[in-house]
Structure 1
Amino acid sequence: MHQFDPRLTPARTDLAAEYLRGRVTADTFAPGRPMRIGAGLAALHRAPRPDSPIETHALHGEKVTLYEDREGWGWVQLGDDSYVGYLAMTALAEGTIAPTHRVCVNRTFIYPEPDMKHPPIGALPLGARVVVSGERGAFLALATAGFVFAAHLVPQAQHEEDFVAVAERLLHVPYLWGGKSSLGIDCSGLVQLALAQTGVAAPRDTDLQQQNLGTQLDLDDPLGPLSPSFLRRGDLIFWKGHVGIMRDATELLHANGHHMQVVSEPLAKARARILEKSYGPITAIRRL
């Protein structure tokens, strides 16, 4: 049998996706049911219980394939990055959508009427996808229900040009393992979320990002001095289990557990601290 990355492979000993038949061993196989994220933001857990570690978050409107529905938990594979895990069934909605718009601000509210004085009935994070059914003054009506301030949405096909500028808007967001929104974010989540707003699909975890994003810069000695004349805005700096984004030739933007938030600091300072206390030396620099 083939070896697959368990993070991205819907296969357990008792159940696996039908498309893996003949490639993995399982008691039964399921074709999967097309669903979508109906909640504003949904935590994907490692096990079907709320105290299980969070692997990542899925955003409103994202496609999901449901392979098992048991005791309020769905075993799923996410459509955007293929991550596999458990979602609360209350976070899911039937079927998929063809989104017309996407949230372009860190967070926005859904109102029951096109009036900001009404108490919100929900909230949507940056990158959430929706179907707009009409316009009411300064608000856009959602096909599901409710209204969102029009300036907080952009057409789905419209993308930002600078992913670093997106990441910069998330400065000071608290660090959250598995997080991918302004309520909490981790290092690889910051990279993935920011790139998505420019139309670039990125893997979820740092090792996969290092393997798949951009071009490896040819450094004779990655432990040696990193010349400011060499680095550019948007370069990704990798450590084992960590990633940051260069804002310019010297400044690093990253979500990290030392500050427990997204910060901007000199790369030299971050590099020295990380080398001494946590992830060791820089392992790669990738240029997009």
Structure 2
Amino acid sequence: MQVRAGSVAVRETPLPDARLATEALFGEILDVFEEQHGFALVQCQRDRYVGWVALAGLAERLLAPTHRVTRPHTHAYAAPDLKSPPQLTLSLGGRVSVIAEEGDWRQCQDAGWVHQRHLAALDVLDEDPASVAERYIGTPYLWGGRSGLGLDCTGLTQQSFEAAGVLLPRDSDMQFDWAGDAIADWRDPGALQRGDLVFWKGHVGIMTDPDHLLHANAWHMAAACEPLGDAITRISKYYAEPTGARRIQVSSERGTVPAWKTGA
């Protein structure tokens, strides 16, 4: 089945108030294993996450996407007119099928009219994951979230790299095990660079330069950028020391099927 809501909650149990595991965005394909009390047990094809989704946000008819959403969130309107009522709120990475054009507006099947500046063809990718992450600054922290209305630390890094054509696993331990290459001397002055990932057990952030970390975190309750040293000191006081850092070569990994997804 395919997501037809702006996003759907993927929950740990088939209850409307169950804890959020992740979110699936408009256009994502979900493999359905069973249905129960208005929920479906699914596996997200994009990152293999499993959970329960309300059937009301899904459709059996699969649309072939042509474009992706490039803003943290945007509106799909009832007509090609910014004064018309919005029908859906779409998030960055959502995939839509454009079926008509009128001026600067694009009609997206089963969604509505979206301004063309908030869309890109599927083969047009961002070059810099850190720039994508910066679009989320100020977005509220949400455990399990990966939409423009709220996201967690790995939702931020996953969304940022996927916009550049590199698919990361959903959890921080898997990102630490599988994403790019370890940076052995990452604590040395100047060793880190823009786009590097710094990890703690259960947490991750992306560097915007050698000294600043952007991360969705519960301290700020938002995606925020701060000096890496400040983050290390605070997180070490309340939780733990960093576990390491990794560097992803976007140009070489873009468009490849990641090993974590194939089991290789």
Q: TM-score, normalised by structure 2?
A: 0.91
**Percent of matched pairs sharing the same residue:** 44
Instruction: Tell me whether 1:283 sits opposite 2:243 in the alignment.
Output: yes
- Corresponding letter in the other structure for 2:218: G
| Cα distance in 1 for residues equivalent to 2:11 and 2:109 | 29
Match of 2:228 in 1: 267
Return the offset for 1:165.
0.1
Identify which range, 144-153 or 56-65, moves more after superposition. 144-153
| Cα distance in 1 for residues equivalent to 2:200 and 2:76 | 39
| Cα distance in 2 for residues equivalent to 1:209 and 1:150 | 33
Match of 2:201 in 1: 240
| Cα distance in 2 for residues equivalent to 1:191 and 1:273 | 21
| Cα distance in 2 for residues equivalent to 1:157 and 1:96 | 20
Match of 1:5 in 2: none
- After superposition, give the CA deviation of every residue in 1:58-106 in whole Å (9 maximum; x if it has no partner): 1100010111111100000001100000000011111333210000111
Question: Against the structure 1 CA distance between its residues 77 and 68, is the aligned structure 2 distance closer, same or farther, given a 3 Å change threshold?
Answer: same
Match of 1:102 in 2: 68
Matches within 5 A, 1:1-288: 35-144=1-110, 146-219=112-185, 226-278=187-239, 280-288=240-248
Return the offset for 1:146.
2.2
- After superposition, give the CA deviation of every residue in 1:179-227 in whole Å (9 maximum; x if it has no partner): 10121110010000111100111100000100110101124xx7xxx23
The DSSP-based 3-state class of the residue aligned with 1:160 is coil
The DSSP-based 3-state class of the residue aligned with 1:122 is strand
Return the offset for 1:253.
0.5
- Corresponding letter in the other structure for 1:275: S
| Cα distance in 2 for residues equivalent to 1:253 and 1:113 | 37
The DSSP-based 3-state class of the residue aligned with 1:121 is strand
| Cα distance in 2 for residues equivalent to 1:215 and 1:77 | 28
| Cα distance in 2 for residues equivalent to 1:123 and 1:267 | 33
- Corresponding letter in the other structure for 1:255: A
The DSSP-based 3-state class of the residue aligned with 1:274 is helix
Aligned residues: 248
RMSD: 1.1
| Cα distance in 1 for residues equivalent to 2:112 and 2:181 | 43
| Cα distance in 2 for residues equivalent to 1:151 and 1:161 | 17
- After superposition, give the CA deviation of every residue in 1:251-276 in whole Å (9 maximum; x if it has no partner): 01001111111111111110011111
Higher relative contact order (CA 8 A, sep 6+): 2
Return the offset for 1:145.
5.0
Question: Against the structure 1 CA distance between its residues 187 and 140, is the aligned structure 2 distance closer, same or farther, given a 3 Å change threshold?
Answer: same
Return the offset for 1:144.
2.5
| Cα distance in 2 for residues equivalent to 1:282 and 1:61 | 36
Question: Against the structure 1 CA distance between its residues 145 and 272, is the aligned structure 2 distance closer, same or farther, given a 3 Å change threshold?
Answer: closer
- Corresponding letter in the other structure for 1:91: G
Divergent runs of 4+, >3 A: none
Q: Larger radius of gyration, structure 1 or 2? A: 1
The DSSP-based 3-state class of the residue aligned with 2:243 is strand
